[in-house]
Amino acid sequence: MKSLYEKINLGGIELRNRFVRSGTHEGLSPDGSITEDVLSLYRNFAREDVGLIITSGIEVTEDKVFDNSFRLNNDECIKDMKNLVDIIHSEGGKVMAQLFHGSSFIFLEADYVPLAPSAVKDRFTQIVPKEMTQLEIKEIIKRFADAAYRSKKAGFDGVQVQASAGFLINKFFSPYYNQRQDEYGGDVTRRSRIAVEIRKAIADKCGNDFPVFIKMSMDDLMKEDVKGLEFSDGKELAKILSDSGYNAIETIAGVMGETMVSGNYNGGEPFFKEKIVELASEVKVPVIANGGIRTEKAANELISNTNVDGVSFARPFIADADLVKRFKNGHYTKCTTCFQCNGPNGVRCIKNK
Ligand SMILES: Cc1cc2nc3c(=O)[nH]c(=O)nc-3n(C[C@H](O)[C@H](O)[C@H](O)COP(=O)(O)O)c2cc1C
């Protein structure tokens, strides 16, 4: 029987256990640099036995979506990133860089018109983006590959492509936000093309053996009568992504501003369990379950009784860097899923000051 605490090879990376820290914006990096606070946070995760740490989202272009986030859009960034990676490795941890493009899902006042598959107003930010030309699509694919190459040079164990929550790749997957008539729009195969091409571009640049994971929304859970990516397509999408060479899939559901996980989201533990279990039983690559896992019992149940290979956590790691040891020693997380960690005064658990 699989165990939470056993060593495993997950998607080509040797991990000391099945715990993953999901990509989580920390807001600790003014001007994109790796500060002492960043080093100390990640060192602590590695010391506290986290198997795989996924960094906060790193924008692959110069566009700025979050304040205080890391950069990997030029070679100058590599040296500091390498220092971060070396520290994590020296503590026995593994780390992936999470790469994303924000599209119209912007958390700052932007002085540019963002790019998107189609010029459809973002229902969360209310921004009307510009429809990308095919040349712009090719350029963004190249930007993902360039950032992956810099990640490899910095020593990261792999990269994760962010394709959930309402960011660019998720928008391509969505029949609501992607209304293109060319080969990047249409059925789920065409809507997934950009992600498939990103996978190939990364392999061409970094080699086939450099691990690339993807975090995807299985179902956009859009409100009212609006049809985003729904689970039947989500499962199909996961199979396409797995066949195209992604080495593991991290699953979440929902798009921010719709019925996405929030303080009062009542999705059971874990959120979307039936969908995760079904999807994991149908794709060939390892699946990491994300969203709403708060107890060792629920994590164990996923690992022991289903095809899920890893469990990932965002808010519980904000509350308790020592989550792995806590669970192992029979203690609970302090996280109550209140979502106030995402407050205006920086990312921190208000219950665990
Ligand atoms: C403060 C905060 C920042 C986040 N930043 C990111 C991010 O940079 N990249 C990402 O993929 N998801 C991000 N997320 C989403 C989480 O990774 C995760 O998918 C979600 O919170 C559900 O997992 P949880 O219930 O364990 O928190 C963030 C969530 C929070 C609360």
Cα(135) to ligand 1 centroid in Å equals 31
Cα(315) to ligand 1 centroid in Å equals 7
Average pLDDT score over residue span 28-42: 93
Helix axes 296-305 and 273-282, enclosed angle (nearest 10): 30
Cα(22) to ligand 1 centroid in Å equals 7
- What three-state secondary structure class fits 13? strand
Query: Are 188 and 217 spatial neighbours (Cβ–Cβ below 8 Å)?
Result: no
Average pLDDT score over residue span 53-81: 93
Top-confidence residue, 151 or 346: 151
CA distances from 111 to 63, 65, 106, 122, 261 (A): 9, 11, 11, 17, 29
CB of residue 178 inside a 6 A radius of ligand 1: no
* The overall pTM is greater than 0.95: yes
CB of residue 261 inside a 6 A radius of ligand 1: yes
- The answer to whether residue 353 scores a pLDDT higher than 80 is no
- Residue 45's pLDDT is what? 98
Cα(133) to ligand 1 centroid in Å equals 30
Cα(16) to ligand 1 centroid in Å equals 23
- The answer to whether residue 92 scores a pLDDT higher than 60 is yes
Query: Are 52 and 96 spatial neighbours (Cβ–Cβ below 8 Å)?
Result: yes
- Residue 262's pLDDT is what? 56
Average pLDDT score over residue span 61-73: 90
* Atom 6, ligand 1: residue with shortest CA distance: 24
CB of residue 55 inside a 6 A radius of ligand 1: no
Query: Are 33 and 81 spatial neighbours (Cβ–Cβ below 8 Å)?
Result: no
* Atom 22, ligand 1: residue with shortest CA distance: 291
d(CA 124, CA 256): 7
- The answer to whether residue 266 scores a pLDDT higher than 70 is no
Residue type, 130: K
- Residues 6 or more apart whose CB falls under 8 angstroms from that of 251 comprise 215, 216, 218, 238, 272, 275, 276, 279, 280, 287, 288, 289, 290, 291
CB of residue 294 inside a 6 A radius of ligand 1: no
Top-confidence residue, 32 or 15: 15
pLDDT one-digit tens code per residue, 178-210: 999 999 999 999 999 999 999 999 999 999 999
From 22, 58, 100, 101, the mutation candidate for ligand 1 (largest count of ligand atoms within 8 A of CB) is: 22
The structural domains of the chain, with segments of one domain joined by +, span: 8-102+137-342
Average pLDDT score over residue span 1-12: 97
d(CA 169, CA 121): 16
* pLDDT band with cut points at 50, 70 and 90 for residue 129: very high
d(CA 194, CA 180): 12
Nearest to 173 by CA among 121, 241, 75, 111: 241
Residue with tokens 């708060």: 294
d(CA 35, CA 26): 11
Phi and psi angles of residue 304, each rounded to the nearest 5 degrees, phi first: -75, -35
Query: Are 302 and 308 spatial neighbours (Cβ–Cβ below 8 Å)?
Result: yes
- The answer to whether residue 264 scores a pLDDT higher than 80 is no
Q: Parallel, antiparallel, or unpaired: how do β-strands 8-10 and 13-15 relate?
A: antiparallel
Atom of ligand 1 nearest to the CA of 66: 8
Cα(182) to ligand 1 centroid in Å equals 32
* Atom 16, ligand 1: residue with shortest CA distance: 314
Strands (E), 77-211: 94-100, 115-116, 130-131, 158-163
CB of residue 152 inside a 6 A radius of ligand 1: no
The arrangement of secondary structure in 8-102+137-342, i.e. its CATH architecture, is: Alpha-Beta Barrel (3.20)
CB of residue 28 inside a 6 A radius of ligand 1: no
